[in-house]
Structure 1
Amino acid sequence: MPAETLKLADGPDSVWSNLRIAAAQASAEEPILASFLNAAILRHDRFQDALAYRLASKLADAQLDAMLARDVVEQAIAADPEIARRAAADMVAIEERDPACQSFLQPFLYFKGFLALQAHRVAHWLWSEGRDIFAFHLQSRISERFGVDIHPAARIGQGIMIDHATGVVIGETAVVGDNVSLLHGVTLGGTGKTDTDRHPKIANGVLIGAGAKVLGDIAVGEEARIAAGSVVLKDVPAHCTVAGVPAEPVGGRCHEPARTMDQRLDPSD
């Protein structure tokens, strides 16, 4: 099945088949990378195993060697199969939305937005198990390794694309729905020191442009669009485009902005 025909519901097995084909082709085209591609993908039997290996290789540091990191990731995936299923859905979303993505190889091996998000899913599992210190350790490592800072408690759906990813910050009580696209420099932050809900709730299908700041316990409605550089301080209705500092409604009704990635305020331009 060609990668472009995959759907989010197809799950890890369909993604795994296509990823292995892409890895084998790349290995034949670039023999110098053959051992790397074998270690990262081809020698594994399942998507889950390859994902654990790849994340461990990125998260290992002086305090947590690669073998121990892999054990933790494998434990998380075994306890919560949604981690692998959501990772596969994220890869399908990236392949669909990002014209720079030539195959599943790019996000799985190289795209730091994808890798940071999957590492966050492991940290979130640790958090939900009451292993806060370990979760914070992974958060710190993710920030150091990928330039992305996501609190372990933040809840994030599937079919997510975090494009370029540098400087993305997602706070503790933030919630991100399914099929959302975020670009670099996005902040889902708070506006004060309260220890209750203080971060945004992003509904399904939202597109948030580069450098946008969404602040406070506010709701961004389904398939809304936030223009690059905007500062959002109040609720955004569904299917609405907002822009500016502070952001206000502009333009017409949005339809699937996270999928189309169309950031023009006037589609006729």
Structure 2
Amino acid sequence: MAYTAERADTTDIIWSYIRKEAKEMMKKEPVLSGFLQSTMLSHRCLEEAISFLLAEKLGNNAVPAQLLGQVFEEAFEADPSIAVSIRADILAVYERDPACTSHLEPLLYFKGFHALQCYRLSHWLWNNDRQALALFLQNRISEVFSLDIHPAARIGKGIMIDHGTGVVIGETTVIEDNVSLLQNVTLGGTGKGTGDRHPKIRQGALICAGAKILGNIEIGECAKVGATSVVLEDVPAHCTAVGVPAKIVGSCCPQPAREMDQSLPRLD
């Protein structure tokens, strides 16, 4: 449902920033006026805007965007924690990605952010005995955004998936709060085994581009996995692992997910 600007929620600080930035963008680039009006400014709150935006991206002839939007709004109404997580994710991208210059940009343009929020809605469906629709969304997320996130995975808030292309997150994966992932990261299993078979990424960890973390292993709190590494064993908290297979090469900065420092310790 679209709302007039006069009815917009002014108590939500993040949403207020987004609306202000959308109006400023519209002044600078009038060509985008219709786009910004339909996606952001005609909606009362962030939940309605993101429901519309994601439904438009994922809907197709078989499952129209309008129906998906209704499902997404139902999820937001039933579980307020989804909206809390989305706001934390917006702040995470704004604070950590040097290419992000506003709170609005992730909402409009960043497919890693889009895929993560679609996952949050599919996860709600999965946990409410609507697995068929959750799997439909997983498939559409993969087709549209080139990320494959199983709806049963458990992902915390304050997450940044930078770029996003090629990210794979398996069914029993756990990602705690304030983690950063880059493109082509795989959090996968090691074969055909069933049960709890995917990685556990503890809070504050940084997983760099192309890393493959396989099996029911733990990447410790505020640990870092270097680019293109293949991790088959636990990585202790506050340590850096790199290589194929990955080995511990030293400690890392206090908050790697926030600092996004992808350099390696100096090896003497």
The TM-score bracket by the shorter chain reads over 0.9
Matched residue, 1:4: none
Check the 8 A contact 2:224/2:252 in 1, yes or no: no
**Cα offset, 1:81, TM superposition:** 1.0
Paired with 1:128 and 1:259, the residues of 2 have a C-alpha distance of 30
1:124 aligns to 2:150 (yes or no):
no
**Structure 1 residues 51-97: Cα deviation after superposition (integer angstroms, max 9, x where no partner):** 11111111111221111010011011111111111011000000000
Paired with 2:118 and 2:45, the residues of 1 have a C-alpha distance of 18
Matched residue, 1:196: 195
| Count of residues paired in the alignment | 257
Matched residue, 1:76: 75
What is the DSSP-based 3-state SS (H/G/I as helix, E as strand, rest coil) of the residue aligned with 1:251?
Answer: strand
Matched residue, 1:222: 221
Check the 8 A contact 1:154/1:170 in 2, yes or no: yes
Q: Unpaired runs of 5+ in structure 2?
A: 1-10
The one-letter amino acid paired with 2:243 is: G
**Could you state the TM-score of these two structures normalised by the residue count of structure 1?**
0.93
The one-letter amino acid paired with 2:196 is: D
What is the DSSP-based 3-state SS (H/G/I as helix, E as strand, rest coil) of the residue aligned with 2:248?
Answer: strand
Q: Unpaired runs of 5+ in structure 1?
A: 1-11
1:39 aligns to 2:30 (yes or no):
no
**Cα offset, 1:14, TM superposition:** 1.6
**Cα offset, 1:119, TM superposition:** 0.3
Runs of 4+ in 1 over 3 A off after TM superposition: none
Paired with 2:266 and 2:244, the residues of 1 have a C-alpha distance of 22
The one-letter amino acid paired with 1:62 is: N
1:26 aligns to 2:25 (yes or no):
yes
The one-letter amino acid paired with 2:40 is: I
The one-letter amino acid paired with 1:85 is: V
Paired with 2:79 and 2:246, the residues of 1 have a C-alpha distance of 38
What is the DSSP-based 3-state SS (H/G/I as helix, E as strand, rest coil) of the residue aligned with 2:12?
Answer: helix
**Cα offset, 1:147, TM superposition:** 0.1
What is the DSSP-based 3-state SS (H/G/I as helix, E as strand, rest coil) of the residue aligned with 2:241?
Answer: strand
Paired with 1:79 and 1:197, the residues of 2 have a C-alpha distance of 28
Matched residue, 1:9: none
CA RMSD of aligned residues (A): 1.2
The one-letter amino acid paired with 1:67 is: Q
Paired with 2:147 and 2:179, the residues of 1 have a C-alpha distance of 17
**Structure 1 residues 85-120: Cα deviation after superposition (integer angstroms, max 9, x where no partner):** 101100000000000001012100110000000000
Matched residue, 1:231: 230
**Could you state the TM-score of these two structures normalised by the residue count of structure 2?**
0.94
The one-letter amino acid paired with 1:169 is: V
What is the DSSP-based 3-state SS (H/G/I as helix, E as strand, rest coil) of the residue aligned with 2:213?
Answer: strand
**Cα offset, 1:41, TM superposition:** 0.6
Check the 8 A contact 2:249/2:265 in 1, yes or no: no
1:59 aligns to 2:58 (yes or no):
yes
The one-letter amino acid paired with 2:218 is: A
**Cα offset, 1:267, TM superposition:** 7.2
Paired with 1:219 and 1:14, the residues of 2 have a C-alpha distance of 36
Paired with 2:252 and 2:147, the residues of 1 have a C-alpha distance of 31
